[in-house]
Structure 1
Amino acid sequence: MSETDARKLQILGAIVEDYVSTREPVGSKSLLERHELGVSAATVRNDMSLLEEEGLIHQPHTSAGRVPTDKGYRTFVDHVATIKPLSAPERRAIRTLLEDSGDVEELLARTVRVLAQLTQQVAMVQYPARRQARIRHVELVKVADSLLLVVLITESGRVDQRTVPINAGKPAEYYAVLRDQLNRVVAGREVTDLATPLEDFLEALTPPERPAAAEVSEAFAALAATRAEGRIMMAGTANIARSAEDFARDVEPLLDVLEEQLVLLRLFTEMHASPGAVEVRIGTELQDRALHQAAVVGAGYGVGSHVAILGPSRMDYVTGISTVQAIARYVSRFLE
């Protein structure tokens, strides 16, 4: 890298740092006052002109300073941003909070809370791919002559339940026996791997037993299917409101994305960050119009699972990258 290119990156980093801090366009005078760049004002102005020509910064209006573009943020993340180690109190707080978690559900809930607090962005965590959809236990409870409560517990500790009508009503004792039979068939299996085992189970029953068992089997399969899709736990949505001025358009489309989660699930699916590695997507890289003024910093914490923050493209990437990476590593370690 030439001396000129290195200096331009240094100035770009200073512009990003100042704009993130002040939310105001950055001029050459303020750069020289805030940073020891070791060059003249004329050199700074010339380098800023070159950065603007390269599409890394732009002037929002006449006589204003410069602000980074999405391309500028991308260049900053790729070439300038460095991992800032968390302070000892921050590391201790994270470790203490996560170590006391009773199960995966509580661990992930605490993870998004502390991540949102440390970064002041929306924090998201994808349920562990191997745990979110593996069955731990099935419970059947007859609550009325024609109603049965079907309860599904997965290895993540998540409990889903559904009350279903039953036509071929049987005594409560029958459903207790059926529960034990079902658990022997499905416990430990993925929710996406139930069709054949349940068919084989029904086929092995005598014809008189089959109608009542089939009702329960169908209801259980339908309940399990709702767990086959990925899940995201989230915290810090209110931080979007605090950053509303960073979104030129109404923030409602962004809030809709957060509420529906389908776009986020697709985003997580497309991320390829290995455990502990960080991936950053900025603006149009997110491929959804509602997210074109946003950025996501994510890291893998297990096979096919991620933890991430979402906020405006004008976010503190250094803190975000460092914090997301550290928390992803902590979560990975606790789930081993």
Structure 2
Amino acid sequence: MAANRRMLVLRAVVEDYIRSQEPVGSGAVARDHKLGVSSATVRNDMAALEDEGYLVQPHTSAGRVPTQKGYRYFVDRLARMVPLSGAQRKAIDTFLSGSVSLDDALQRAARLLAQITGQVAVVASPSLAKSRLRRLELIGISGRALLVVVITDNGRVAQHTLSLHQDQDLGEDLLAKFSESLNKECRGMTLSKASERLETQSEQVHEAGSRRLLEGLAQVLEGMADEEESSGLYMAGRSQLTRRQTLTVAELAPLLDALEEQVVLMRLMSAQSELSRTHGGVSVAIGSETRTPGLLHASIVTSGYGHATGTDQWHEGTNGQGDGPIAFVGSIGPTHMDYTVTMSAVRAVAAYLTSFLTSGEGEDG
């Protein structure tokens, strides 16, 4: 019973500290949270929580503040995940439904998430490595070069110029025939799988020109699949961090530097989005858990989107298992962020983007 009460005291301290950014005293907890015990009992509980590493007392006469361990326990066990209200979902739907393309939807999603949380929002465009081929077009641009245009199932369009050998004479009719055959053979495959299929086909073709074309196309698709780090990253809300009076210069400067390291952020948040599949749709990394020096005083909340199997992702607010997320949406802020609001908002925006892609609105973006 005492252990359960201590955890309620921990929840009260975390919630009060998030709201005020001031050390929380036992009197305020006893008065405001109706735990049915005296402030002396709460004080003893807070001392026990400090001994266990969940709280720390910055000054002898001050109240307590949560540690990273305290925030971790709060997020894992105590945070009450409150679904967004109908009005909030409608507001998100209204703001994002005006998108005219996939890129526009991702930019809007980043701005909206930053507005809701007051923190930095990061949204990645779908990775080519995890995308599936919807259509491939071959366009002759000179006597010795082709433009290879790849359109994926999530609306991304990638282009690559392929040089031809001198003995390759490919007219429009032959290119159209090739395109039709390739689309029939590879539609719905990942780019890596499509590359493997073309490589296999090239080994079975005797005509030199066709064989070289298949080999070249296989290399193009494999190269596109390897461009994991080049996915677009949309970011909003950095200026809001600089206006936070609760962040010291020592905390803010490395955080801003970390935001400039986009490749590091991509890897970190992509890995976290994979974890979100088994963590209720969101994954939270706090302080040193990010393994990123610039984020020692920050937390990231991440969710994957796309390729989910749920039938009503937007209204349920969860991501299905499917083939795993194809990209991520996340929020970065101080460790004393409002986790409940941030987790709900990240999950809702991710679910909307999944709906946007699966409904086909993102096509040809």
TM-score under structure 1 length normalisation: 0.80
1:163 maps to a residue whose letter is T
- Return the offset for 1:58: 0.8
- Return the offset for 1:299: 4.3
Contact 1:164 1:219 (C-alpha < 8 Å) held by counterparts: no
Aligned to 1:284: 288
String of CA shifts for 1:187-237, please: whole Å, max 9, x gaps.
222112124421243244443424651564255234432356795754335
> Would you say how many aligned residue pairs link Structure 1 and Structure 2?
333
- Return the offset for 1:253: 4.7
Aligned to 1:268: 273
Supply the distance in 2 between the matched residues of 1:32 and 1:96 (Cα, whole angstroms).
42
- Return the offset for 1:90: 0.8
1:320 maps to a residue whose letter is T
Contact 2:281 2:347 (C-alpha < 8 Å) held by counterparts: yes
Q: Any stretches of 5+ residues in structure 1 without a counterpart?
A: none
Could you say if the C-alpha distance between residues 135 and 228 of structure 1 is closer, same or farther in structure 2, counting changes exceeding 3 Å? farther
Supply the distance in 2 between the matched residues of 1:332 and 1:133 (Cα, whole angstroms).
13
SS of equivalent to 1:178 = helix
Contact 2:120 2:237 (C-alpha < 8 Å) held by counterparts: yes
SS of equivalent to 1:55 = coil
Contact 1:133 1:228 (C-alpha < 8 Å) held by counterparts: no
Supply the distance in 2 between the matched residues of 1:110 and 1:81 (Cα, whole angstroms).
28
Q: Any stretches of 5+ residues in structure 2 without a counterpart?
A: 305-318, 360-365
Supply the distance in 2 between the matched residues of 1:328 and 1:210 (Cα, whole angstroms).
43
Supply the distance in 1 between the matched residues of 2:82 and 2:320 (Cα, whole angstroms).
23
Q: Which range is displaced more, 37-46 or 125-134?
A: 125-134
Picking from 278, 296, 302, the partner of 2:300 is: 296
How do 1:15-94 residues align onto structure 2 when only pairs under 5 Å count? 15-28=13-26, 30-31=28-29, 36=34, 38-94=36-92
Q: Which range is displaced more, 188-197 or 91-100?
A: 91-100
2:221 maps to a residue whose letter is A
String of CA shifts for 1:85-142, please: whole Å, max 9, x gaps.
4233212112334555566665555444433322223334566789942101112233
Aligned to 1:254: 258
- Return the offset for 1:82: 1.2
Could you say if the C-alpha distance between residues 302 and 237 of structure 1 is closer, same or farther in structure 2, counting changes exceeding 3 Å? farther
- Give me the identity figure in percent: 36
Could you say if the C-alpha distance between residues 314 and 282 of structure 1 is closer, same or farther in structure 2, counting changes exceeding 3 Å? same
For the aligned residues, what is the CA RMSD?
A: 3.6
TM-score under structure 2 length normalisation: 0.74
